[in-house]
Structure 1
Amino acid sequence: MPEVRFTIRWPDGAEECCYSPSTAITRHLRPGVAYPLEAFLSRARAGLSEASDRVAARYGFACSAAMDQLARIEARAATQQPGGQVTCLSMS
């Protein structure tokens, strides 16, 4: 299953490299697009959950790495100013 690394820029300007265990995330986030913080969180939750579900369908267990990544994203989002935007800079 091909993994995807995606780089985002938080509203405070910090950049972060993130991980998805499958290409499912590419259906939810696009490089070069800025999302309102809440929309980004919704898309990240959907994409990483779908990715974890794909791992479960193939291997019989959910992907803890996807859920760990989501937890890191949610924790970082909680430190951001409301109303900010998160930009997906790249995917590879």
Structure 2
Amino acid sequence: MQKTKITKELLLKVSANSRLSLTETEVKKFLPQLEAVLESFSKLDEADIKGTEPSFQPIPLKNVFREDLAIAGNCIPNETALANTAHKKDGYFKGPKVV
């Protein structure tokens, strides 16, 4: 695999694309830091991954929500639910019109 070298021109191009204006001092400061980061990531190229399946999620996805089921005997009767409201019609709560 080809090693990518971070040059001053590449750093300035990336900073321009990111709408960042870097001073010459910042460029001199960031170049060695970015080289070190890139070198750290290049160590991953040395890892033996033969026989390893690709993984796109670090942890398995799981639906944490329960199924929405009505449980018999766990619901209050309609009349009880509507007992304390003055705004009801045909067994439903009545609310203001929404335009």
Fold equivalence (TM over 0.5): no
Instruction: Pick the structure with more helix per residue.
Output: 1
If asked which structure has higher relative contact order (CA below 8 Å, sep 6+), I would say 1
Q: How high is the TM-score relative to the length of structure 2?
A: 0.29
Q: Quick check: which has more Rg, 1 or 2?
A: 2
Give TM-score, length-normalised by structure 1. Answer: 0.30
